[in-house]
Amino acid sequence: MFLIGMRINRWWKIHKWLPIVLAMPRMLGELYKQEDLGLISHEQWFGRTTMMVQYWRSFEHLEAFASSAAASHLPAWMTYNQSIGSRGDVGIWHETYRSGPGQYECVYNNMPPFGLARAMTLVEATGPLQSAGSRMQREDH
C-alpha cells in the first residue's frame, strides 16, 4: 500500500502547483493502461493537502515504476525537483507499507467497492469470520 499526496503552500503560485496536480492523472492513466506495471487500485481525497491511497501488487512493482526512465513518474519527479525543490511552494509526501496474508482486516457495509475491497477479493464476514480477530488469523486473503 502506498500513500501519496501534496500540499499547496502558496495558492497564488498556480504555475508551480498546477503541473504537479496534472502529473498524477497522467501517471494513473499510464498505470491503468499497463496492468503489468503493478497498480491494482487507488482512492483519492482533495483539499489543501491531498491524499491518494494506492494498492500495488508488490513493492518491487512500485519501485520499478518510480525509477523507470520509460515511465511517466521519473520525468515528473525531475521536473518537480527543478521547479520546486526545497523552495516551499508545494509540498509532497508519501508513505509505503508492506503487508501479507493475515496482516490486514477490513469491513465494508452498505458500501460500493472501495479501498481494499476494490483491490482484493471480498469474503463475507459471517460465521467464524464475524470478529476482526478471526479475520486477522486467516491465511487465504
Q: Quote the pLDDT of residue 141.
A: 47
Q: Quote the pLDDT of residue 38.
A: 96
Sign of CA dihedral 22, 42, 87, 11: positive
Mean pLDDT over the full length of the chain = 86
Domains observed in the chain: 2-96 (3.30.70.100), 100-141 (no CATH)
pLDDT in tens, 7-66: 999 999 999 889 888 999 999 999 999 999 999 999 999 988 999 999 999 999 999 999
SS3 content of the chain, % helix, strand, coil (to 5): 40, 20, 40
Record the cell numbers describing residue 106, joined without a space: 477490513
Q: Quote the pLDDT of residue 138.
A: 62
The whole model's pTM is what? 0.81
Give yes or no for residue 129 having a pLDDT over 60. Answer: yes
Q: Quote the pLDDT of residue 135.
A: 75
H or E segment to which residue 134 belongs:
helix 132-136
Q: Report residue 80's pLDDT band, with 50, 70 and 90 as the boundaries.
A: confident
Q: Quote the pLDDT of residue 140.
A: 54
